[in-house]
């Protein structure tokens, strides 16, 4: 379960999150919407421990994100899967190596990597593209590589910040389907998007941020 308690984030005089309180249940799906600059990425960054809020508290499954030291943060990050709009792939590594490298950095053994990477690439439908470099991939394939990488720790919580923002409508649908599959298997999903079409096709809770506050639909 995720809990924001009076979370406030200021950048200088700019109040981006204004005393925001909200609860997200484990196993749920939440769309996160709001105009450009509304604070979606700020909320997500706070939730993944990339920034600290100015006031209030955020709890995720017993972790207090407002009181983090480096070690607790590292442990927490291994429980969540994060996907961004711009993929963040390493250009000099193949699809396989991008996922393998993320596991290597996290201390997995060669044997674990050799076993797990092909499984993950099969999940996202990229087994055949495993030796391709990012510049050879379509946007959807790049994003699926990034999703495979986000799944290395089998996260129960998946946080995606406009993962379909650079993709055409059909490819975007495919990415949502992939997230839906993970959600069906039990993952909590938080999905920020501007795409109302995606939201209309999968009716779930929608948290809309406006002027630093949360409006629900």
Ligand X SMILES: Nc1ncnc2c1ncn2[C@@H]1O[C@H](COP(=O)(O)OP(=O)(O)OP(=O)(O)O)[C@@H](O)[C@H]1O
Q: Which of 41, 94, 98, 143 binds Mg ion (CB under 5 A)?
A: 41
List the 213-216 sheet strands across, edge first. Answer: 80-84, 157-161, 188-192, 29-33, 205-210, 213-216
With binding defined as CB under 6 A, does residue 39 bind ligand X?
Answer: yes
Q: Which of 24, 30, 42, 172 binds ligand X (CB under 6 A)?
A: 42
H or E stretch covering 144: helix 139-150
With binding defined as CB under 6 A, does residue 207 bind ligand X?
Answer: no
> Is the CB of 94 or the CB of 164 nearer to Mg ion?
164
With binding defined as CB under 6 A, does residue 52 bind ligand X?
Answer: no
Q: What is the smallest separation between the CB atom of 184 and ligand X, expressed in angstroms?
A: 27
DSSP, res 186: T
DSSP characters over 71-126: HHHHHHHTTEEEEETT----TTS-HHHHHHHHHHHTT--HHHHHHHHHHHHHHTT-
> Is the CB of 41 or the CB of 193 nearer to Mg ion?
41
134 contact choice in Mg ion, ligand X, none (CB below 5 to 8 Å, kind-dependent) = none
With binding defined as CB under 6 A, does residue 40 bind ligand X?
Answer: yes
Tell me which residues touch ligand X (CB under 6 A): 11, 14, 16, 34, 36-42
């Amino acid at each position: 379960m995720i809990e924001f308690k009076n979370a406030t984030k200021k950048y200088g005089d700019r109040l981006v999150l204004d005393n925001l309180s909200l609860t997200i249940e484990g196993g749920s799906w939440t769309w996160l919407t709001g105009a450009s600059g509304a604070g979606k990425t700020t909320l997500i960054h706070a939730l993944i421990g990339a920034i600290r809020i100015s006031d209030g508290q955020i709890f995720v499954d017993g972790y207090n994100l407002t009181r983090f030291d480096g070690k607790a943060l590292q442990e927490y990050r291994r429980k969540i899967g994060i996907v961004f709009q711009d993929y963040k792939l390493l250009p000099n590594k193949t699809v396989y190596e991008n996922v393998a490298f993320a596991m290597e950095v996290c201390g997995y053994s060669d044997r674990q990597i050799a076993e797990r990477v092909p499984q993950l690439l099969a999940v996202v439908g990229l087994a055949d593209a495993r030796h391709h470099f990012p510049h050879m991939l379509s946007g959807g394939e790049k994003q699926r590589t990034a999703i495979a990488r986000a799944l290395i720790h089998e996260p129960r919580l998946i946080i995606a910040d406009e993962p379909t923002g650079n993709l055409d409508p059909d490819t975007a649908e495919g990415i949502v389907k992939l997230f839906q599959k993970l959600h069906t298997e039990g993952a909590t999903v938080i999905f920020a998007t501007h795409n109302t079409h995606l939201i209309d096709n999968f009716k779930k809770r929608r948290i809309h941020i406006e002027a630093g506050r949360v409006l629900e639909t």
